[in-house]
Structure 1
Amino acid sequence: MIKYDKLWETMKSKEITQYDLYTKHHMNRSQLNRLRHNRNVEVNTIDKLCNILNCKVEDIMTHYPDDNVF
């Protein structure tokens, strides 16, 4: 499972709000909602966030192993 808890911490440390993301950086509100609920997002969204926040992928998301591995 991928969780985006670090995203909100990184945004806070960079002083960028969700409002900034969709007004200044034209991020889609539905994408932000997907991130808030740890749902699937496209790699392009992660790339865009890393560019906006000037950070690494690890600063946005964390992988947690699933118990039911194939």
Structure 2
Amino acid sequence: MGVSYKRLWKLLIDKDMKKKDLAVAANISTYTVNKLNHGENVNTDTLVSICKVLDCTFDDIMELIPDEQSESHEAQK
């Protein structure tokens, strides 16, 4: 299974925040934001920090993608 953070990016748009703003507020590195941007795995503590800043849950910022969709998503990159 893969992970998609499209919900996170949509939530940032709704809250009028930039990725840089999120990184500062959640105290995460730009490297970690880049990993999120590419759908890579990140530490659960990072996701908790993001959820605290945005006042949301994991379901609000990410979703699991079945392997076949995940593989085609990776091929599109």
TM-score by length of 2: 0.78
* Percent of aligned pairs sharing the same letter: 30
Q: Which structure dedicates a bigger proportion of its chain to helix? A: 2
Q: Deviations over 1:12-36 (max 9, x none)?
A: 1112211212334432100000000
For 1:31 and 1:47, locate their aligned partners in 2 and report how far apart those are by CA, in whole Å.
13
Q: What is the 5 A alignment of 1:1-70?
A: 1-67=2-68
For 2:65 and 2:20, locate their aligned partners in 1 and report how far apart those are by CA, in whole Å.
28
Q: Deviations over 1:44-69 (max 9, x none)?
A: 111011001111111100101224xx
Unaligned runs of 5+ in 1: none
- SS of 1:63's equivalent? strand
Q: How many residues align?
A: 67
- SS of 2:17's equivalent? coil
- SS of 1:7's equivalent? helix
TM-score by length of 1: 0.84
Cα RMSD (Å) of the superposition? 1.3
Unaligned runs of 5+ in 2: 69-77
